[in-house]
Amino acid sequence: MTQSQTTDTTPPSPHEIATELSKRVIGQREAIREMSISMSKKLAGLPVGNLLMIGSSGTGKTTLMKAVESFLEKRPNLSLRSTVIRMHANVLGEEAQRGRSGEAILHRLLDRAREQLGPDAPLEDLLAQASRGIVFVDEVDKIRAWVGDQPNTSGIRAQEALLTVMENEAVPLTLPKWAGGDRITVDSSGLLFVCGGAFEGLWDSVFDRVTVGKDRGALKPVTVVEDGEVEEKLIFHLRDWLRNDDLFEYGMSPQFLSRYDAVVLLSDLTVEELERIFLTVPDSGYHMARAYFKSRGLNLLLSKKAVYRIAKEAAREQRLGARALKEVFRRVIRDYEYDPESKVNGPESSVLIDLPDVEAALKLRQRG
C-alpha cells in the first residue's frame, strides 16, 4: 500500500488528531485527548458517545471546536465521512419557539452535506451524510432551565429540541424547499454531539456544597508546607467533586444529561500557557500589533520579561481567561500605536517594549 492510499483510507489516530489540534489549542491536554479519541472513532464510522465540555470563559472551548472544524476542512477525504456544524445553543431556543424543534440542526447538516457533496448529489446520499454528522453546540449553559428562581422558557425549549435529535431513530423532518419540502423521518442516532459551556457559578456552587452545604466537611483541609510554614489548606478541583446532580441543579434536565457519555473539564490557564497563547495564537493582540507596526515599516519586539508580566496580569483576571490578554495588552500598547515612529528605540526601526514599560503602562491605568 502506498503512503497516499494509507492516508486516504485509514482514519487518523487520536494521537495524530491531538497533535494537529494542539497547534491551535494551548494546554487543555485532557480535553484535546477526549476530543481526539471521539473524532478518531467517528471518522472510522464507529458509534461515539456525546461529550459535554465545561470550562471557564476564555479557556479554549470555542477554539477547540473550531480547531476540529478546520482539521476536517483541510482534509476533504475525511470530511466526506462526517459533516460538521457549529451553532450557538440560544439559536435552538429561538427556533424551537417557532415550532421547528430540532429541525434547525438537521437542516443545517443537510445544507452542509450539500456543500460537501455538491448540488447534484442524490437526496438519499445527502441524508445519509447529514445523519452521521458532528454537531457542536456552543454556550450550552445558556439554555439552562432556570436563571435564579425564574424559569427560562426558551432554555427549556432548547433542551427539548436537542433531546429530539439526540439519539433518536425517527425524527420528523420537513425537508427544505430545495429538497422538495416533503415530510419524512430521519434516523439521527448516528449524530455526535459535542456541547460546551462555561457554566458560570458552577465552581462556586459545588465548592459550597462540599464545604458548607449539603455535603459539609466532604472536602477536608490538607496540611501543606509553604516557605517553611505549615498551613491547613482546602484544595478544590471541580473535576474531583462534580456530579450530575450539580448540573441538574444548574438547570440542565436529567434526560438531557443522560445523553452524554463523558463530561470533560477544561482547566483554567496558567501564566505559562497564557504566555504561549499571547505569542503563538495568530490573532492575539501581540500579532495584531506586530502587523500594524510592520505596515509602518517598524519591528515591534517585546522582551521575555515584558511578556511574562502581561501574562501574569492577565492571569489575575481568571474570569476572562485568555481574553484578559487582549485587554491587558491594549493598556500597554495604546500609547505606542498612536505615534509608532516616535517610539523607535533600537536598530533597524525596532520598537522594543521591556518590563519597565509594561509596569509603567499598567500602573498608569491603576491610578487613572
Ligand X SMILES: Nc1ncnc2c1ncn2[C@@H]1O[C@H](COP(=O)(O)OP(=O)(O)O)[C@@H](O)[C@H]1O
Which residue's CB is nearer to ligand X, number 317 or number 354? 317
* Interaction of residue 197 with ligand X, rule CB under 6 A: no
Query: Rule CB under 6 A: which of 107-166 touch ligand X?
Result: none
* Interaction of residue 322 with ligand X, rule CB under 6 A: yes
Q: Which of 102, 93, 90 is nearest to 139 (CA)?
A: 90
* Interaction of residue 40 with ligand X, rule CB under 6 A: no
Q: How many CA atoms lie within 13 A of 368 on its CB side?
A: 7
Calpha distance 185→168 (Å, rounded): 10
Piece of the chain touching ligand X by CB under 6 A; list 26-34, 102-110, 299-307, 329-337: 26-34
Which residue's CB is nearer to ligand X, number 41 or number 330? 330
Residue 172, classed as helix, strand or coil, is strand
* Interaction of residue 61 with ligand X, rule CB under 6 A: yes
* Interaction of residue 62 with Mg ion, rule CB under 5 A: yes
Piece of the chain touching Mg ion by CB under 5 A; list 55-63, 307-315, 340-348, 352-360: 55-63
CB of 304 to ligand X, least distance (A): 20
Give the helix/strand (H/E) hosting 174: strand 171-174
Contacts with Mg ion by CB under 5 A: the residue count is 2
CB of 157 to Mg ion, least distance (A): 22
The rounded radius of gyration (Å) of the Cα atoms in the chain is: 24
Start-end of H helices in the chain = 3-9, 14-24, 29-43, 61-73, 76-79, 89-97, 103-117, 123-130, 153-165, 202-211, 238-241, 244-250, 254-257, 271-280, 285-295, 304-315, 323-338, 355-367
Cβ-contact 121, 80 below 8 angstroms: no
Which residue's CB is nearer to Mg ion, number 61 or number 108? 61
* Interaction of residue 267 with ligand X, rule CB under 6 A: no
95: which 3 cell numbers? 427556533
Contacts with ligand X by CB under 6 A: the residue count is 17
Cell 485587554 appears where? 327
What are the residues binding Mg ion (CB under 5 A)? 61-62
Binding site for ligand X (CB under 6 A): 25-28, 55, 57-63, 277, 281, 321-323
